[in-house]
Structure formats: structure tokens, C-alpha cells
Structure 1
Amino acid sequence: MSERVRVAAVQAEPRWLSLQEGIEQVTGLIAQASRIGAQLVAFPETFVPGYPWWMWLNTKGWGAEFAARYRDASMTREGDEIHAVLEAARAHRIHVVLGFSERAGDQLFMSQALIDQHGLLRAVRRKRELNRLESQVFEPGGGDQPRAYDTELGRIGMLSGSEHLQAVTRQQMYRTGEQIHIASWPGFAIYRGATRGRGHWANASASLLYSVESASFVIAPTAIVDVAGWELDGATGPQTRLLHNPGGLTTIYGPDGHELGAAPSEKRSGLVYADLDFAALGKPRPAYPVSTHLNPEIYRGPAGNQVAARMLRRSF
């Protein structure tokens, strides 16, 4: 049984408000991750059809210009779009954690789908703790406690964005015995230059803290935000003073908080990947067969560990 698993984290700008283009982008990134030998690829929060940043830019009335389009571009659990993602996971033999806006009847949820390498939808988790602005667009998820899921790669858990700032939610996840944690973020594009307690520094540090407290590997994919992208189709008067692009800080952490891989620039689109050495966890893994692809390009990481990580120099 191999003790190494290669994982990839997406850093890219979503295809804003376009469901079809968004799914094409997702399946393309799944194929790209597979080509570099990744056995798991993780996407940012609500990557399809993009995080609704208009909430931060102007009045609620101004945001209503986007609300109907956002709902139409959101994905269901039963539609052709999710099946396209399942098929891509099956075809490329890769686990996928996809952040998406889930449409269920008249409601929207901030959801994460866990898909295994056989193309089976193992779980859909809905974000429970919404901030005040997110509550204008989405409904909170159900009352079930967070859990981790047994897979051929180990126990995988997942939370969305600001849930990592909730102490009770974190403690619930720590008790699940997860070995790989997906910390999906929408991008760190607000409050740049503000106090650390509200700015991107605090949010980005939450993933690092999570790896130390949970003693698990943390994969933290982050979207890129193009401020100009919200000057859409004649929408009136966006006030972008709070939003500063691009905000991509995708990182992969080891269980003691050392950095296994990080995007070289917050502007660069592509995949960050790393080889996870489960011997570092100090706890047993499930007895599942796992295949691995060793990376010929090795560098010595900040903690002196030899890790494999690089950014693919390709824009999507």
C-alpha cells in the first residue's frame, strides 16, 4: 500500500454566471490534474458559477440585477452538468471536490460535492454557517454535524470559506478523524489593506491554523477575482472600493503547518499540486489500495521536507 497521494488545488477565475462554460472549465481542469498524476483535485468555493461578489459592491437593489442570472447559472444535483463532472472523474480516475452554487427548487445553497474516482457522487455538503451578505443569496445547510468520508485515498473532510473561522464547526470536524481536509475559499479580494482581523490575512491564515490544530493535510483552493469581470452587460454603477483583484492564494499544507505547495502569484491561473506523505500523520490509514505517480521534479520545502509542488503555467 502506497503512503503517498498526489493532490491538486485549483487557482483560476470562474466563468462568471455561465453554467455551461463553467462545467467545461471544470472538466478541463479535471483532465489537467489527471495528466500530472493527481488522484484528487479540489475547487474553490462556489466555483460554478462563481462567488456572488456583487453582494460586497453596492446596494441590495443593485445586486438584484444579477440574482436571476445567478440562479439560472446554478447547478442541480440531477442535471446534465453534474453528470458531466461525474463522467470526467470516472474517465480520468480521479477524486474531485467541487464547490458550486446548488439550486434546489427556489433555494440556493453553497455546496461542495465529493466525487470518487469511479464517478460516484459520494456526498454533497451544504454550507451551514453563512455570513450576513451570503444569507441574502443562499440558504444555510441542514443541521447535521460535519463529517469525513472514507475513500481510497483516506478520510476526506471539507468545509467552505468562512466556516473555517467558526471554532465550534472546526472542533466538530477535528473529531471526525479526517486525514485530508478541503478548505474551499472564494478568493481573498476584499478588505485589502484593512485591519488584519477583517482582511485577507486572517482568512488565509485560517487554513494554516486548521492544518496545525487538526494534524491533517489541508488543501486550500482559491479563486481569482477580476474586478473588471463584474462590470457586466450594462449593470449600473458597481462600487468596487471593497473589492481588489485578484486574490488568489491557493496553498497546500502539511499536518504540522508547513507549506507543501503554493501558487507563485495571486494572479496566476492553474493548478498547485503536492505529494502527501501519510507517514507524517502518525495515525493509521484505511486499508485501501492506492496508486501513485512520483514527481520527477523535487524541491526542498521550508521545513526541510522533500515535497513535490509546482504551478502549471497555463491560463484557462
Structure 2
Amino acid sequence: MAQPAPKFIAAAVQATPVYLDLEATVDKTIALVAEAARNGAKLVVFPETWIPGYPYWAWLGPPAWAMKWVPAYVANSMELDSEAEARIAAAAAQHDINVVLGFSERSGGSLYIAQLILDAEGRRVAARRKLKPTHVERTVFGEGDGSHLAVHDVAGVGRLGALACWEHFQPLTKFAMYSQDEQVHAASWPSFASPPEVNQLGPDLNDAANQVYAAEGGCFVVAATTPVTPEIVDLLCESPEQRRLVLPGGGRSMVFGPDGSRLAAYLAPDEEGLVLAEVDLGLIPLAKALADPAGHYARPDVTRLLFNREPAPPVSAPAPAAADGDGRVHPSPDAHDGVLSTGGLGQPDNAV
């Protein structure tokens, strides 16, 4: 007889990092991991660019003005395989909890909006990058590729995937995730504090995007957000107009069920804490019986997604040459004009 689907507690963080301070935010991360575990959680999800905070300054003025924030932001972004990652991984293992961490990833001379997935033994399951930074975010961050749209089997949690912020408004990106039988989705967002006339960045629309993702994908969504503090406003804003663009508050973390229902109560928009809810994977078949977007509710004869999962590094190394018995060197059969062929768009196994 099949075993019942697991149940566990998930925690969506609603908190503010120690802005532009890598080490202090790692300390706060570890404290929140421990707090989530004390509350029985087996999964904790952090906001977008939790480390070292979201670059609100990119929205406040021309790029030339905003450049003054770049050195501190780069210096306090997190590298993979760093001491900071190791400390957070050790906390995950110590407290037996899976972690999805939003962070600004520093890689060489570039930054990426990234999410790190750690299992309950502190092992890195994946590190992904936001496929397309939104609007002025493109003045700060580079892009991910199709290999970063992935869903992973995580013990005790199920099939876990993650997206950041407005990736939840990209229909084909969402469909690529749904097609991988995603059961639990980590949604990392910054603050929803914005002036009323910019509804696209406000709480109602973005909260609805999480709810629709849950109902559309037939999965649980653990959505984490960051309240803006008055201290951040004072630090970044130099004019009344800038203060009108970045408002205190904006937290709206939540856990949604696969039918789109809210499974907990909201915290106040300026309140820090954890939103906790039970995830029962046994409810997913009920939701997907009504509509499975990449299964029985699809019409591949009418519309299909071409999904290129291949990594797209800026440099592809040539395949190594092979020597025959007489010592002569011949190109590898996989080498074409000095570029390693890695497959790509249009490969049969990439079509969903």
C-alpha cells in the first residue's frame, strides 16, 4: 500500500535584513532559521535579495546617482562556497530544516538575484538565478538561464521549486515550473511598499500573483517578503520625492494551499516574524483533479512550450582533443569550430 503523503510546517519569513551588512544579516538569518525550527517548521523561505537587502536605490534616481551605492552593495553580496554560505548551511543542519535563501550573488564582477536551496542536512540542493531582472534591476543584476528553472526532490518536503518576485508574472516561466510536477513553491519577494499610483508594485496585485500561482499550479506557495524600515528610508532618500517612492512597511508574507486558499493570518505590513502553516501534500491530487495545467488540462496540439534547460555560460570551452595510437591528436567528435556543443534550443527533450 502506498504511504500517505507527508505533512510538515512551512515558515515564510517577514523580516528586514541588516541593510548592506553581510555578516550581520547572516547572523540574523541563522537566528530566524533557529526560530522557524523551534516552531516545528521543516522549511523556511526568505525574501528576495535578503542578503544584503533589496537595492531600492535603483528605483530612486538615474543610474549615475545610484552608482554611489554599488561598492557597498557588491562588497556585502554573498558568494557561493563562501564562509557565509557555510554558516547558513551549518544552521540548516543543526536545526534539521530546509532553507530557501534569497540573496544577491556576487560572481566575479557581476551580481545576480539568486536563491539558494539547502536541505535539512545543510547540503546545497541548488543555487538558481532570476531569469530576467525586472525593469531597473537590470542596471544592477545579470540574468539566469533555463537551467535555473528547476524543481528538486527534497526529502520530507516533496518536489520543491523557487522563483523570485516578478518571475511570477512570466506565463511561460510558470508553465516550465508546473511541467516539472512542482509540489511546494518558494516565492521570494522584496517589499510591497509603493506609492498608490504604482499598483503593479503594490501588495494586492503581487499577493494575488502568489495566490494564482498556487491555484494554477496546484501546489503550495510559501511567499516571503521584506518590510521597509524608516531607517532604510532615511538612509536612501535625499528628497521628498524619493520618500514618496519608498514607503515604510510593505510586508505581506503568506502560505497558500493548492486550491489558492490562505493558510495563515497576515502579519502587520511593518511587523517582523514568521508566517507558519501546515503543508499537506495529500491535498495536491484533489486540486489537480480539477486542473493540471501541464497534464490533462493542457492542449499540446494547440499550444506548447519550447523549454531550453541547458546552461548558457558566457564562455564554452572546446572539447579536449584525443590522441590515437600513433600519438597524433584529433579533435573530439563533439568539437565544432572550437566550441563545445552542449545541445540547446529545439532539442527534443527540451520541449514541454
TM-score range, shorter chain: 0.7 to 0.9
* Aligned pairs (5 A) from 1:237-248: 237=239, 239-248=242-251
CA distance in 2 between partners of 1:127 and 1:5 (Å)? 27
CA distance in 2 between partners of 1:95 and 1:242 (Å)? 35
User: Would you say 1:62 and 2:65 are equivalent positions?
Assistant: yes
CA distance in 2 between partners of 1:145 and 1:52 (Å)? 22
Please identify which structure carries the higher helix content: 2
CA distance in 2 between partners of 1:273 and 1:18 (Å)? 27
* Partner of residue 132, structure 2: 129
Give the RMSD, CA atoms, in angstroms. Answer: 1.7
User: Would you say 1:162 and 2:170 are equivalent positions?
Assistant: no
* Partner of residue 252, structure 1: 255
CA distance in 1 between partners of 2:197 and 2:207 (Å)? 14
- The percent of aligned pairs where both chains have the same amino acid is 37
Cα 1:95/1:185, change in 2 over 3 Å = same
User: Would you say 1:171 and 2:181 are equivalent positions?
Assistant: no
**Which residue identity does 2:260 align to in structure 1?**
G
CA distance in 2 between partners of 1:195 and 1:33 (Å)? 33
Select the residue among 30, 33, 37 that pairs with 2:33.
30
Conserved? CA contact 1:14–1:224, under 8 Å: no
* Partner of residue 279, structure 2: 276
SS at match of 1:139: coil
Cα 1:195/1:139, change in 2 over 3 Å = closer
**Which residue identity does 1:44 align to in structure 2?**
P
Conserved? CA contact 1:97–1:114, under 8 Å: yes
CA distance in 2 between partners of 1:232 and 1:243 (Å)? 11
Give unpaired runs (5+ residues) of structure 2.
287-352
Shift of 1:155: 0.3
Conserved? CA contact 2:219–2:257, under 8 Å: yes
* Partner of residue 16, structure 1: 19
SS at match of 2:196: coil
CA deviations 1:81-133 (Å, max 9, x no partner) are: 00000000011110000000000010000000000001101100000111120
**Which residue identity does 1:161 align to in structure 2?**
C
**Which residue identity does 2:66 align to in structure 1?**
G
* Aligned pairs (5 A) from 1:1-316: 3-144=6-147, 146-152=149-155, 153-190=157-194, 192-194=195-197, 196-197=199-200, 199-232=202-235, 237=239, 239-282=242-285
**Which residue identity does 1:156 align to in structure 2?**
L
Deviates more, 1:89-98 or 1:192-201: 192-201
Conserved? CA contact 1:115–1:121, under 8 Å: yes
**Which residue identity does 1:265 align to in structure 2?**
A
Cα 1:127/1:95, change in 2 over 3 Å = same
Cα 1:145/1:29, change in 2 over 3 Å = closer
- The structure having more radius of gyration, on CA atoms, is 2
**Which residue identity does 1:121 align to in structure 2?**
R
SS at match of 2:215: helix
CA distance in 2 between partners of 1:30 and 1:199 (Å)? 28
CA distance in 2 between partners of 1:242 and 1:158 (Å)? 28
Q: Of the two structures, which has the highest relative contact order with CA contacts closer than 8 Å and spacing of 6 or more?
A: 1
* Partner of residue 297, structure 2: none
**Which residue identity does 2:100 align to in structure 1?**
V
Aligned pair count reads: 281
Shift of 1:236: 5.1
Shift of 1:197: 4.4
TM-score by length of 1: 0.85
Deviates more, 1:129-138 or 1:139-148: 139-148
Conserved? CA contact 1:227–1:243, under 8 Å: no
